[in-house]
Copies of this chain bind each other. A is one copy, B any other.
Amino acid sequence: MANDFFTAHKATLDRALEAIATREYWTPFPEMPSPRVYGEEAASQGQAAFEAFRNTNYPLQLDGATKTVGQERSPYGFDLNIRYPFVEANQLIEQSSLALDSWREAGPEAWVGVCLEALSRLNKRSFEIANAVQHTSGQAFMMAFQAGGPHAQDRGLEAVTYAWQEMSRTPALANWVKPQGKHDPIDMQKQFTVVPRGIGLVIGCSTFPTWNSYPGLFASLATGNTVIVKPHPGAILPLAITVSVLREVLSEAGFNPNVVLLAAHEADDQVAQQLSLHPAVKIIDYTGSSATGNYLEQHARQALVYTEKAGVNQIIIDSAPDIKAVARNLAFSFALYSGQMCTAPQNIYVPRTGIQTDAGHLSFDEVCAALGHAVERLCSDPARAVEITGALQNDLTAQRVAEAKALGLEVIVDSQPLAHPVYEQARTATPLLLKTDASNPHIMQEWFGPIIFVVATDSTEHSIELAGSTVIEHGALTLSAYTTNKDTATAIRKMAERSGVSLSLNLTGAVFINQTAAYSDFHGTGANPAANAALSDAAYVANRFRVVQTRWHTEQTL
């Protein structure tokens, strides 16, 4: 059955293998929430499915559940009031270990087959997941659909594809024949078996519950490990649905559904730590704060730990062929999900002497004004703007905006709430643009949320140097630059390669620094403190399994 799943999706896998090799555009999961693609009823059914979850016990039966937990509240202003089964950490480990016992024997085709079938079913439930993501993360609907649905599925499939590629590299059986001069050759059979590490733990975040969890989840599962999914207490539903789909596929394929378990828990308990430090947990995938990520890297020594943490994303403006297009592109990046993307830009470096543009030389203040104007324009229609900004996931982000205001810097554009046409209680905020100088130590930390510093530097050389040292010291997932000068572009690229951050050059159209495309763009480099791995590459998957060989003389009949 699991192998039937493999066969059914083999063509997609082969196409994905081609995509990660050429890194050309491709996806099997359409990103537009179109009735023609997903069906006429898909949108309403997805919303209905989401609504049906509210004010109920989530329909997931876990063995040994001792109580229910769940206090999710939509950033759009209402409680979800969904209760999830709670199972003690030691119980989860025990069940996962038991499930590993048979899962490990199933082999790569079965592991990958289950993953591919689950991704296909998750794709069909993209509207339901979009609602769940919207009302936990606060993303606007379109982003919740795309990033929470097809794009997350893409990143999941990408990880499965890399896993398959690495696992299928070693032949199942080899015949090794070594010449011995005049004597008979030594003739041996060698069998190679892919074996999993053990239990994988996936620790989700509240802002991208599916997108940031799927790579680790599917990478570990596709390589024969069992997985315990620990959602952020503020964003359980999207991963609960994901776990349900996986368990359904596992059961149909004849496996113990406990191969994938949900560790829903209260915000203030010890479950995350108990799971992370357990000797049976051999792989951890984590997205979240640097404090917790660094803690895991230091203390969860029994496991391979893959982390995505905080960083300071930067933009270097050296010169601009079309300053209005630059400002429009950046304003959108500032506003998109209110800066709550790990890829969102924060520090914008502009020489204090100003820059050359198509509109002539612009002073530093004029550049600030151009950026500010573009933000104001983008946010001028609240009903439209809120479909870009979405809502703030939690109060801490709202407080951070207030803290940034209290820094006493000159305000280019103030942050303000946006009236949501449907959800009056939505926690919204437009971008706050502040003017500051490169010597300000406050800019050398992540200000998660819609907080942007336009930073006066001595020169573009200074901007480049500052950006490079910031990546090395504080980490970054993205870097962007605008220049009309070829040598400057090269200098920036060299700095990016040395500091280990991916670079976007002169984005003025419909591509934004915040966004990466699966199968083509690597998310993170694994080469600076913001993330110790990239999504996805061979290094991300190759150590999640091992190969154990058995050899014997061919003449033996055993």
Chain A residues proximal to chain B, CB less than 8 Å: 21-25, 104, 166, 169-171, 174-180, 186, 188, 190-193, 195, 197, 297-298, 301, 483-484, 486, 489, 493, 496-498, 500-511, 517, 520-522, 525-527, 534, 537-539, 542-543, 546-553, 556, 558
Question: Do B547 and A517 touch across chains, with their CB atoms under 8 A apart?
Answer: no
Question: Do A505 and B552 touch across chains, with their CB atoms under 8 A apart?
Answer: yes
Tell which of B24, B171, B192, B522 touches A549, judged by Cβ atoms closer than 8 Å: B522
A496 CB contacts on chain B under 8 angstroms: 548, 550
Question: Do B301 and A190 touch across chains, with their CB atoms under 8 A apart?
Answer: no
Q: How far is the CA of A505 from the CA of B171 in the complex (A)?
A: 19
Number of copies: 2
Question: Do B190 and A527 touch across chains, with their CB atoms under 8 A apart?
Answer: no
Question: Do A25 and B521 touch across chains, with their CB atoms under 8 A apart?
Answer: no
A21 CB contacts on chain B under 8 angstroms: 169, 171
Tell which of B190, B520, B525 touches A546, judged by Cβ atoms closer than 8 Å: B525
CB of A192, distance to nearest CB on chain B (Å): 7
A176 CB contacts on chain B under 8 angstroms: 23-25, 517, 520
Q: Is the interface of A mostly helix, strand, loop or mixed?
A: mixed
Chain B residue at smallest Cβ distance from A486: B558
Most buried by B among A503, A506, A507, A550: A550
Question: Do B511 and A546 touch across chains, with their CB atoms under 8 A apart?
Answer: no
CB of A183, distance to nearest CB on chain B (Å): 9
Question: Do B511 and A190 touch across chains, with their CB atoms under 8 A apart?
Answer: no
Question: Do B538 and A169 touch across chains, with their CB atoms under 8 A apart?
Answer: yes
Tell which of B166, B170, B177, B553 touches A25, judged by Cβ atoms closer than 8 Å: B177
Q: How far is the CA of A116 from the CA of B489 in the complex (A)?
A: 34
A24 CB contacts on chain B under 8 angstroms: 174-177
Q: How far is the CA of A175 from the CA of B517 in the complex (A)?
A: 13
Closest 8 CB pairs of A and B: A23-B174, A539-B542, A505-B552, A527-B546, A539-B543, A538-B542, A503-B550, A25-B178
Tell which of B23, B192, B510, B549 touches A186, judged by Cβ atoms closer than 8 Å: B510
CB of A551, distance to nearest CB on chain B (Å): 5
Tell which of B174, B186, B546, B550 touches A534, judged by Cβ atoms closer than 8 Å: B546
